[in-house]
Structure 1
Amino acid sequence: MVTIKQIAKAVGVSSATVSRVLNYDPALSISAAKREAIIETAEALNYETPRNRNRGAKRGTVGNSADDRLPRLALVHFLQPSEELSDPYYIGVRLGIENRCRDLKTEIVKVYHSDEFPAPDLLQEAACVIVVGKHSAREVAWLKANSRHLVFADFNPRRDDIDCVFCDLGSATRALLDELDSLGYQRIGFIGSFENIDGHSEPHGEQRCRSYIDWCREKGRFDENLLVLGNICDSGQNLRLETGYMLAQQLLAAAARPDVILTANDNMAIGAYRAIQEAGLSIPEDIAIVSFNDIPVAQFLNPPLSTVRIAGEHVGEAAVDLLLEQIAGRDFNKKVIIPTRMIWRQSSRVPELKTLVAAQ
């Protein structure tokens, strides 16, 4: 059984650093090359967290029979490696796929985003393809035409002939806004990003942003000054932290600042924390923060962050399971929605029922 200490020795870093990298801690100051070396070393040594070891034990003999195995799998990612390494959520999706494939003794070929389509032979030889993240209609059609068994993870291509697994972030956003409204928040700000697909930017296309706008308009409370968006897709940089910081500064400069800020992901929330604290304001007394993802560092912020938990690893695992069903002969397509869960912490007011449950 490989240990964190062995990985640390192989890479030449501390055990604490390895642990924080493998737990997707975006606040860790480490070069992209060193982070990648740790992840690749862990994969090469077949390291599994205690959670995944227990999960594998519960599965028993899965992967021991020929019927439970997958042919060679191609993993097509919409991000470049440096971008994925800066996003704990997408690391979780990929590790969910890889851990499930390890159980099934399946070889994975990774294909990361570039300006060109991958070689058709690569997909056709792989037999099974999982595509992670957002792709244009043109890309979806090309991938469908060149894949025998295809599943999209963390993206709904809105086609009835393609399997996909995703979280309904639009519905989760509306549910969170309803909770914030019930808690008495009136001026709800939003920090998010542009929807970028196939080189085209759609300002309000991202589902959390779209749901926020629709909800506010239905309530007669939409204020364009409370909505700020940035581009988080520039490669080679962890811009989500910096983007959250800069966008939060814009909200704080508004004539009437929000009493709560909803950020599209936890990395942006971390940046917003810094902007709020530099402005001499207190969280949540002066301004509250809520977010999405529930990355491991969220519970260690000061104050701990209220955030919607999105189970990236479960998205990845379910994508592999859909491929197994396809190979077994399923002759209809599936769309699987992985539920989200709101984790209330001290960065905002907490619904009374949630407070009572937590106290028991």
Structure 2
Amino acid sequence: MVTLKEIAAAVGVSSATVSRVLNYDTTLSISTRKRQAIIETAEALNYSTPRSRNRANQQQGLTKVALVHFLAPERELVDPYYVAMRLGIERRCAALKIETVKVYHTDARPAANLLQDASGTIVIGRHDEEETEWLRHHSRQIVFADHVPPDDDIDSVSADLWSAMEKLLAALSQRGYRRIAYIGWGDRRAQAFVHWMTAAGWFDDRLFRSGDNTEEGGYRLTRELLADRRPFDAIVTFNDSMAIGAYRAIHERGLAIPADIGVASFNDISVAQFLNPPLTTVHLPAEEIGEAAIELLLERVGGRDLAKQITLASKLVWRASTRQPVEK
């Protein structure tokens, strides 16, 4: 293994200088020519930093990853958000030459050997306490993507849905919306909706509907809201697929978006920008969640003991399905 001392001797500088150059110390005062000579000598001698060597060891320890999905294959295909998350995982694994095995949701639990034969497991989406414990028992290392289990010793990576909903509602209020409906599952974004709207004094439980998070679910729940004749000027949907269904129900009633009802959603799937009108939505970093999950597995295989729970930021993407902010 090549040492810093050998590189220093070849170039005619100190080992400390070599170390600072290879660690990209911008405060080091050294000529461009000398810096280049150090880098080129290190490359010629195939030198790798301790961090690089540790990274290589991690990759050698992670050879196969089992992807356990909370959705069935046909359900995943109609939700581009989860497709993007899986592709983020698979692309990162392909770049690192790590084999992946997909395990989709069925009525029965997967064969335990699928997890036991893998170096690590990434669990996509929400699983209940019993399922989580079973997955942990049969996995060598485990990371949850898009879900944070209550256990303090489990790695996870997700978006901050509570903060995202609060930012969305605050921005909608700046655009003059007050009577805001919600359709979708009762996860963190739904809880944040109830909390924020209640604090603002605007929450109406008749404008809060739970149901299937699909296009058809969005269509059905929006039709129920419109049939109830409880007035609302905006609707927030659990995801963009539900928003597409909401569009259909609103247009069927002869109403205009956003003149009569504004629509905002979550995920920012590719078709959101092509709807009529283009959909205002919260961009959730699906691919980045998948990539970060692989990084956590690599760290675990490398010997990290302390659990990490990573939260990635979201971004509001304003389009024509909501009106402009009210000028003061």
Q: Please, which of 185, 190, 205 is the counterpart of residue 224 of structure 1?
A: 205
- Which of 262, 268, 274 is matched with 1:288 structurally? 262
Q: Deviations over 1:266-305 (max 9, x none)?
A: 0111111111111111111111100001001101111111
Q: CA deviation at 1:78?
A: 0.7
Question: Does 2:195 match 1:214?
Answer: yes
Measured against aligned partners, the alpha-carbon deviations of 1:129-176 in whole angstroms (never above 9, x if no partner) come to 101010001111111122111100110002111000011112211111
Hey, what's the Cα distance between the residues in 2 that align with 1:255 and 1:111? Answer: 44
Aligned to 2:295: 321
Which among 214, 232, 241 is matched to residue 258 of structure 1?
A: 232
Task: In structure 2, give the amino acid aligned to 1:207.
Answer: R
Equivalent in the alignment of 1:343: 317
The CA distance in 1 between the partners of 2:68 and 2:178, in whole Å, is 42
Q: CA deviation at 1:67?
A: 4.0
- 1:161 aligns to 2:170 (yes or no): no
User: Could you tell me which residue of structure 1 aligns to residue 129 of structure 2?
Assistant: 137
Bigger mean CA deviation after superposition, 116-125 or 163-172 = 116-125
1:295-319: CA deviation from partner (whole Å, max 9, x where unpaired): 0110111111100001111110000
Distance in 2, matches of 1:154 and 1:352, equals 34
Pair 1:77 & 2:58 matched = no
Contact 1:266 1:294 (8 Å CA) reproduced: yes
**What residue identity is the alignment partner of 1:210?**
Q
Task: Supply the distance in 2 between the matched residues of 1:76 and 1:149 (Cα, whole angstroms).
Answer: 13
Structure 1 counterpart of 2:164: 172
How far did 1:254 drift?
Answer: 2.9
Whole-Å separation in 2 of the counterparts to 1:67 and 1:211: 38
CA RMSD of aligned residues (A): 2.0
Distance 2:57 2:302 in 1: 11
Residue 262 of structure 1 aligns to a residue whose secondary structure is: strand
Aligned residues: 275
Equivalent-residue separation in structure 1 for 2:57 and 2:293 (angstroms): 19
Q: Tell me which residue corresponds to 2:40.
A: none
**Letter of the aligned partner of 1:85 in structure 2?**
L
Instruction: Check whether the contact 1:120–1:146 (CA below 8 A) recurs between aligned residues.
Output: yes
User: How do 1:345-360 and structure 2 match up within 5 A?
Assistant: 345-351=319-325
Cα pair 1:266 1:307 within 8 Å, conserved: yes
C-alpha contact 2:88 2:288 (8 A) present in aligned 1: yes
Asked if 1 retains the 8 angstrom alpha-carbon contact of 2:178 and 2:233, the reply is: yes
Query: Which of the numbers 191, 196, 219 marks the counterpart of 1:245?
Result: 219
Query: What's the secondary structure of 1:108's corresponding residue?
Result: strand
TM-superposed CA distance for 1:68, in Å, is 3.1
The alignment status of 1:185 with 2:177, answered yes or no, reads yes
Counterpart Cα distance in 1 of 2:178 and 2:103 = 45
| TM-score normalised by the chain length of structure 1 | 0.73
Report the AA paired with residue 238 of structure 2.
A
Match of 2:4 in 1: none
Whole-Å separation in 1 of the counterparts to 2:101 and 2:195: 40
Contact 1:168-1:337 within 8 A present in 2 as well: yes
Distance 1:155 1:352 in 2: 36
1:275 to 217, 226, 249: 249
Q: Name the SS for the 1:349 alignment partner.
A: coil
Q: Greater CA deviation, 98-107 or 209-218?
A: 209-218
Deviation at 1:255, TM superposition (A): 2.9
Q: 3-state DSSP class of the match of 1:79?
A: coil
Alpha-carbon distance, 1:253 to partner? 2.1
Q: Distance in 2 between matches of 1:167 and 1:352?
A: 29
Q: Which runs of 5+ in 1 are unaligned?
A: 1-60, 194-204, 233-239, 354-360
Conserved 8 A contact 1:344-1:350:
no
2:311 pairs with 1:332: no
Given residue 112 of structure 1, which amino acid in structure 2 is its aligned partner? Y
Kindly indicate whether the alpha-carbon contact (under 8 Å) linking 2:69 and 2:105 is maintained by their aligned counterparts in 1. Answer: yes
Among all aligned residue pairs of Structure 1 and Structure 2, give the percentage whose two residues are the same amino acid.
Answer: 50
Q: What TM-score comes out, normalization by structure 2 length?
A: 0.80
Q: Secondary structure at the match of 2:210?
A: strand
